[in-house]
């Protein structure tokens, strides 16, 4: 049995017994302890976590083409141990997926997942409005031990309409992942955008009350890829910082 826990907000703690394995972002390991000598080892994943060579190769090619490629490391546990993982002081959020439950997440925000998760990519038409392109990574629960650890810049905010059927909106450049229905895109483009008088919130992800979802957002927006103003300023995110 493998268990994921968040430690001190910035670290993932993995408790494991023998015969288990997990997949993590390459280089994310920061320390560990085991009983009776070191009993875990690391292997670079050349293609993908799929067991079939053909599926792993196809998945690898698709991730490279779409820009959703994530350098992975496999951690095999040969006995009881506790190991720790982190990435550049980013905050860590642990989610457990039910069987068949799917998380859509940017590859750069994945820290680790268990072997009970199916890792894949899929096309997202709404991605063309954000700076992330047209693909997103997916992790689907395929067992009773489907854990995912994701990374956020700053303390995350979790929004859910599972209980109250509320309408949820999120800036695509702040959205990290969602579990449940895919969003629709709501735009607010008018003449003010063209002359640089936009509100700065010209497009949004939106989930209606009949679209059950849990969304994780971060308090830091990625630089947006959409700019239609005459003065060249970003209309969907913060201005670029000159270097």
> For the segment 5-57, what is each residue's pLDDT rounded down to a tens digit?
999 999 999 999 988 999 999 999 999 999 889 999 999 885 555 454 444 44
pLDDT, greater one: 190 or 119 = 119
Is the residue at 161 inside a domain? yes
Across 231-239, average pLDDT: 41
Q: Are 45 and 60 spatial neighbours (Cβ–Cβ below 8 Å)?
A: no
Average pLDDT over residues 138-158: 94
**Is 209 inside a domain boundary?**
yes
The two structure tokens encoding residue 115: 């072997």
* Cβ proximity of 178 and 216 under 8 Å: yes
Within a domain: 229: yes
pLDDT tens per residue across span 67-84: 445 788 999 999 999 999
Residue 192: inside a domain: yes
**What domain range is 237 assigned to?**
154-243
pLDDT score, position 173: 85
Percent of the chain at pLDDT > 70 equals 70
Q: Is the pLDDT of residue 183 over 70?
A: yes
Is the model's pLDDT at 153 over the cut of 60? Answer: yes
Is there a domain that residue 114 lies in?
A: no
Is 189 contained in some domain?
yes
Q: Do residues 14 and 26 touch, judged by C-beta distance below 8 A?
A: no
For the segment 168-177, the average pLDDT, to the nearest whole number, is 90
pLDDT value of position 161: 95
Contact 152, 90 (CB under 8 A): yes
Q: Which of 115-124, 190-199, 224-233 has the highest mean pLDDT?
A: 115-124
Each residue of 40-69: b (16+ CB within 10 Å) or e? beeeebebbbbeeeeebeebbebbeebebb
Residue 195 domain-assigned (yes or no): yes
Question: Structural domain tally of the chain?
Answer: 1
Query: Pick the residue with more confidence: 59 or 182?
Result: 182
Higher pLDDT, 108 or 130: 108
Question: What's the rounded mean pLDDT across residues 141-169?
Answer: 94
Does residue 80 form part of some domain? Answer: no
Of the pLDDT bands very low, low, confident and very high (cuts 50, 70, 90), residue 184 is confident
Query: Which residue has 């956020």 as its token pair?
Result: 152
């Amino acid at each position: 049995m493998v268990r994921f826990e968040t430690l001190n907000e910035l670290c993932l703690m993995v408790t494991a017994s023998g015969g288990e394995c997990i997949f993590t972002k390459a280089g994310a390991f920061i320390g560990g302890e085991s009983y009776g000598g070191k009993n875990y080892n690391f292997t670079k994943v050349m293609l993908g976590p799929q067991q079939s060579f053909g599926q792993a190769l196809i998945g690898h090619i698709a991730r490279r083409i779409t820009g959703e490629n994530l350098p992975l490391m496999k951690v095999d546990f040969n006995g009881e141990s506790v190991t720790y993982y982190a990435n550049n002081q980013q905050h860590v959020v642990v989610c457990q997926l039910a069987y068949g439950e799917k998380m859509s997440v940017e590859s750069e925000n994945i820290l680790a997942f268990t072997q009970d998760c199916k890792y894949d990519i899929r096309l997202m038409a709404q991605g063309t409005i954000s700076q992330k392109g047209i693909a997103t990574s997916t992790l689907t629960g395929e067992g009773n031990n489907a854990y995912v650890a994701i990374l956020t810049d700053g303390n995350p905010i979790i929004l859910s309409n599972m209980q109250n059927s509320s309408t949820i909106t999120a800036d695509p450049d702040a959205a990290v992942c969602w579990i449940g229905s895919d969003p629709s895109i709501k735009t607010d483009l008018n003449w003010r955008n063209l002359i640089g008088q936009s509100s700065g919130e010209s497009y949004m992800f939106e989930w209606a009350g009949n679209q059950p979802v849990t969304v994780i957002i971060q308090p830091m927006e990625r630089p947006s890829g959409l700019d239609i103003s005459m003065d060249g300023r970003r209309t969907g995110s913060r201005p670029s910082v000159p270097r």
